[in-house]
Each structure stands twice: as structure tokens, then as C-alpha cells.
Amino acid sequence: MTIRHHIADDTLMAYVGGTLAPSLSVAVATHLAICPRCRDSVAMMEEVASLYLEETEPLSHSEKDKDAALLDQIMATPRTETAEQGAVSSLAGPAIGSVPRPLADYMPVPLDQVPWKRLVPGISHYPLPQPGGKRKGSALRLLKIAPGTRIPEHSHSGQELTLILEGSYIDEIGRFQKGDIADLDNEIHHQPVADTDQDCICLIATDGPLKFSGIFSRLLQPIIGI
């Protein structure tokens, strides 16, 4: 897998700082699992963030008694048996198939058993549970686009991340293949079309509703329900 489209630095920074919407964070973490380059960027940002901790001076009054008690309390806790723990946790994980764990954690069924719901000819979707509970304008869903099908032109009032899980699509920005992520904000109007003989399956995370233009699209919008 050669990844050509990555997460923008402003999105990665919000992820590192913990201010990115939970739905978008799932898409980011899923891409990070398969993209060493974006993980390097995260590591760099964590170094930047930790400079601020290094610059923070301890409080003027010391908390010696509190600290001594806390130190004793922690060291009274057994340290975990490292290797065994790791092995157990990876075996106990959900059946994940070809989907990285950050996404698999939110998938009630494996990717090849998804009960797709048809939206319009050529386009089906499958809404996923929302991480951290329902949040206005925020959604996580899988979308399946049949070969040659064009997604109605739309723009975004918030942020949208599209991660390609299978197949590929092409739009005004370029060609997106397995592993690629499209990090779009509200300035971009686009009209992706699945461009091979294979279904294109993608994860779409949004924070802020999509805005469709055109009559057909306005019909579609209430069906998608975002």
C-alpha cells in the first residue's frame, strides 16, 4: 500500500491536543495505524507539546507530604507482567479482519458482513456508533460506492475525513486509493466518482453537516440524515 494522501497538520495537531471531535479522531487513528509518515508527524508534535511542560515551573509551595504519600501508594501497586499482558490483550481483541483496530472497535460486524443500506442506486451506507455518544452534526459512517457512481456535489459546513478502506475514487483533488485519507474543510466542493471496477468502500467521519447542492442532492440529504 502506497499512501499518497495524508492528514493535514492542523488536524493532526488537534488530535494530539485532544480537541479533535471523537468521530474525526477515529478516522485519524485508523489512518495512523497504517501510515508511519503521519505517525512521525504525531511524534514531532508530541515533542513540541512537551516543550511546554519543560517550560512549566513547579508551584512555589511544595507538596512534599502529598508527594511522599502518593509515591508510596504507587510503588505499593504491583507492576504488570509485561510480555504476558501484551499477548493477552492482542488475543482478546475483537475480530478485526482487514480493518485496523481503532475502526474495528466501532464496527459491530466485520467489514465483509456489513448490512449495507441503500441510499440511492450505486450508493449504500452503514452508520456506525458514535464514539463518546451522540454529538450534534457529528457522524461516523461507512459508504459503499459502486463502480462509476458519482457522489453528488457537496461541500462541508464543518470538517470531513474520508479514509479509503477498499477500492478507489477520483475527484477534483486527485485519486484516492486504499489507505489514503482526504482531509477536507468547508472551502472545498467536490464530486468523487468510484473509478475502478471494484466497489469503493470508505469511512467518512464528519463534524458539522454536509451541504449538498442541486435538486437531486437536496433529495438525498434527508435520506442520509446529516
Partner 1 sequence: MLREFHYMTPPEGISGKTETPQEKQGGLSADLCELGATGSRDAFARIFAEMAPRLRAFMLKNGLGASAAEEVLQETLLRVWRKAHLFDPEKSSASTWIHTIARNVKIDRLRKEARPEPDPEDPSFIPAAPETGEENMARKQDSALIRKAMSVLPPEQLRIITMSFYEEKSHGEIAEELGVPLGTVKSRIRLAFGKIRAEVEKMQ
Total residues found in the chain within this entry: 226
The residue (of 187 and 197) whose beta carbon lies closer to partner 1 is 187
Strand locations in 67-158 (E): 117-120, 123-127, 138-145, 154-156
**Does the footprint of partner 1 cover residue 92 (CB under 8 A)?**
no
6 binds, among partner 1, Zn ion, none (CB under 5 to 8 A by kind): Zn ion
Cα 207 to Cα 226: distance, rounded to the nearest angstrom: 10
**Does the footprint of partner 1 cover residue 170 (CB under 8 A)?**
no
Min dist. Cβ of residue 117 to Zn ion (A): 30
172 binds, among partner 1, Zn ion, none (CB under 5 to 8 A by kind): none
* CA angle, 205 then 207 then 209, to 5°: 100
For partner 1, what does the binding mask look like between residues 173 and 212, x meaning CB under 8 A?
A: ------------x-x-------------------------
Cα 214 to Cα 217: distance, rounded to the nearest angstrom: 5
Place of cell 458514535: 130
Of residues 97-126, those binding partner 1 (CB under 8 A): 98-102, 104-106
The residue (of 41 and 138) whose beta carbon lies closer to Zn ion is 41
Q: Which three cell numbers stand for residue 48?
A: 513540541
**Does the footprint of Zn ion cover residue 35 (CB under 5 A)?**
yes
- 55 CB-near residues (< 8 Å, 6+ apart): none
**Does the footprint of Zn ion cover residue 38 (CB under 5 A)?**
yes
**CA pseudo-torsion sign 214, 218, 221, 226:** positive
Min dist. Cβ of residue 88 to partner 1 (A): 10
**Does the footprint of partner 1 cover residue 46 (CB under 8 A)?**
yes
Cα 102 to Cα 177: distance, rounded to the nearest angstrom: 19
Q: Contacting partner 1 (CB under 8 A), which of 4, 6, 7, 57? A: 57
The residues that touch Zn ion, with contacts defined as CB under 5 A, are: 6, 35, 37-38
